Structure 1
């Protein structure tokens, strides 16, 4: 009789376990700013403080990265319409997701956010000052909504790995996060190991941020983001000693005086921002013939007059959004091939990006992320 009751109790317990999801665990994690944040994991309802955060969310959930997204900022369709269109075709329900304005420009609607009852709100670290000044962390804390900072833009070479680990904990995808981190590290080593062995001369490289987006010249990068990627890829970032932070500007005279050996322009399809602009439209499935035509047009500006890179045809364009996601290792490989073509004849960044898609991302790979004046 006791055995029968015991079996019955176990059976009921098993049924209850099957019928009800496991209770969430409350953990304390450190976000990339060093804040201790208590969160119930795995999170089921997420607000993305930037739509482009889907880049790293997708790397952790290949099946359906939007399953737990209850709201997001409205930037992805404007900043990267091709990627948005590909996700929309696969997950049409995202068209109905509530959208938000930005924290930095003061258009984030905190009342709307609270009404969606998220388990966590993700914010990029560059929104930290605006978030604190508005008192959002305290306001959200009063209703039990934690805010977590991640960073793939301000100091991506320093913060990508900890940001991915934070996301792995939030989503209970720690092993996927570690697999991604290992793949990223191995991909970068394929560049750095060769450079350490051969120690080639470092060409001077000017990276123009969003060239052609406006008539002004020229936005660039200091010793982080694309500036740091250039250094890792075996180049000497021209703007490193001019721009003290991650982002800044250099004037045309500085470019001419520095006479860079290589020029790299970041680009994207920005019709939503600058219709018919001179920007170079590289990205998911881009028309590379048209992108090359526009890239050549940018070399005719006064800032590039007579510089070595233009004379030698060492002018290239690369997808701007590598500056804001954990896929920077693909950019590092491509830059290394541009700077040191003889050393990296066997390196195939396209194959690396294809493998990334096949292993981690929900979308099929489409080329279009790089173009060079040396391309036929």
Structure 2
């Protein structure tokens, strides 16, 4: 009997020891909102509840969309109008009904049974909804790098790596963007202010509303980093415009985002939605451009942010960057990081996005 008791005790001790030394099922991360979040080590179902460009960055980091079970409807509109759904067709299966106009439906969100939620760290109302569900929610910030687009892209990849696991791929992606930025900044450093063109990036141009971006926004980073002057530098945030203000600024270059339906050819006759653009320098010089659309819209941070920096450099300072072969850079990037061999027709599609990509 005594031997039996000893054996039982030994077995119990071994069981207790095995439990004590078992690998943990969770780990903690500090997100961009400063919250310490406990997340599962094994994550199979992910919902990206806001921050529209993040699905593209996630797909780039993971080289897959299989674990994405929910994304915002605006992200889906961009995905279907871009190469994201071609590179990662599983993303088309992600649900969008849990989010409408930025408002989260908690019941539909929980029905997706996510292991983790990724969201815009500035969306405090959404965070309150996530807290009630009990599902771990990790915030990704748009202002984490003071609107330096390349460093924001890097910060998002870095936080994904902290949640899902660091990889050599994630480090390579970050360094690729930083290398391009270093070269661009070095080239434009010696340009005198008077030699820099003024540029305006138009966010919205629909239903009679025209908006651009002032200081401390991603577009100002794009313009100033690539050798231009932000025409709206005296303003802050998103600025609603009238034609009198546009005439006063008289930008040399106008670049249209993919958040509106307008295309450069809409400006050819100088009249757009009843507004007379014919005297604006950019229209007279035929320097109205549209951001390309690759894996996502190229104005905010996205998985194609390094390519967007090259596009803006060639658009704002074409002579300084005439040795940049944008076609080759895009083709090589897509081959290396997405495993896609682009054709000349594919490049044409990237350079000439459809109006539907606005998702309006």
* Normalised-by-shorter TM-score class: 0.7 to 0.9
Q: Which residue of 1 aligns with 2:180?
A: 187
Q: Give the whole-Å Cα distance in 2 for the aligned partners of 1:100 and 1:315.
A: 36
Determine the structure 1 residue equivalent to 2:322: 345
Given that 2:98 and 2:108 are in contact with CA atoms closer than 8 Å, whether structure 1 keeps it comes out as: no
Contact 2:53 2:75 in 1 (8 A): yes
* SS, match of residue 344 in structure 1: coil
Structure 1's unaligned 5+ residue stretches are: 1-21, 271-277, 281-291, 372-376
Residue equivalent to 1:249: 240
CA contact (8 A) 2:142 2:152 kept: yes
Corresponding position of 2:159:
166
After superposition, the C-alpha distances for 1:169-189 in whole angstroms (9 at most, x for unaligned) are: 222243222111100111222
Report the alpha carbon displacement of residue 79 of structure 1 after superposing the two structures with TM.
3.6
Report the CA distance shift for 1:149/1:364 in structure 2 as closer, same or farther (over 3 A): farther
Is 1:75 the counterpart of 2:74? The answer is yes
Aligned residue for 1:314?
287
Q: 1:111 to 1:347 in 2, by over 3 A?
A: same
Contact kept in structure 2, 1:71 and 1:97, CA below 8 Å: yes
Contact 1:256 1:303 in 2 (8 A): no
State the match for 1:267 in structure 2. Answer: 258
Q: Which residue of 2 aligns with 1:99?
A: 96
Q: 1:123 Cα deviation (Å)?
A: 0.8
Match of 1:178 in 2: 171
- Any gaps of 5 or more consecutive residues in structure 2? 1-21, 353-360
Q: C-alpha separation between the residues in 1 aligned to 2:303 and 2:148?
A: 8
Paired residue total: 317
Matched-pair contact (CA < 8 Å) for 1:60–1:360: no
Alignment match, 1:38 = 38
- Secondary structure, aligned partner of 2:71: strand
In structure 2, do the counterparts of structure 1 residues 48 and 358 end up closer, same or farther at CA, with 3 Å as the change threshold? same
CA distance in 2, matches of 1:205, 1:146: 42
TM-score by length of 1: 0.74
The aligned residue for residue 237 of structure 1 is 230
Shift of 1:90: 6.0
- Residues 118 and 140 in structure 2, CA contact (< 8 A), matched pair in contact too: yes
SS at match of 2:268: helix
Runs of 4+ in 1 over 6 A off after TM superposition: none
Q: Look up the match of 2:220.
A: 227
Q: Kindly state the Cα deviation for residue 342 of structure 1 after the two structures are TM-superposed.
A: 1.4
Taking structure 1 as reference, are residues 23 and 54 closer, same or farther at Cα in structure 2, changes over 3 Å only? farther
Q: Report what 1:335 is aligned to.
A: 312
Q: Quote how far apart the aligned CAs of 1:137 are.
A: 3.5
* Alignment of 1:149 onto 2:139: yes
CA distance in structure 2 between the partners assigned to 1:186 and 1:299 by the alignment: 41
Give the drift of 1:111. Answer: 2.2
5 Å-filtered alignment, 1:15-94, equals: 26-50=26-50, 52-62=53-63, 65-83=64-82, 86-88=83-85, 93-94=90-91
1:95 to 1:263, Cα distance in 2 relative to 1, 3 A:
closer
Matched, 1:204 2:198: yes
Cα deviation, 1:143-170, whole Å, max 9, x if unaligned, reads xx21011245893625322211011222
Question: CA contact under 8 A between 1:124 and 1:151: conserved in structure 2?
Answer: yes
Aligned-pair CA distance for 1:370: 3.8
The 1:364–1:43 alpha-carbon spacing in structure 2 relative to 1, beyond 3 Å, is farther
* 1:356 is aligned to 2:333: yes
Asked if 2 retains the 8 angstrom alpha-carbon contact of 1:152 and 1:160, the reply is no
How far 1:76 moved relative to its partner? 3.3
1:326 CA displacement: 4.0
Compared CA separation, residues 297 and 267, structure 1 to 2 (3 A):
farther
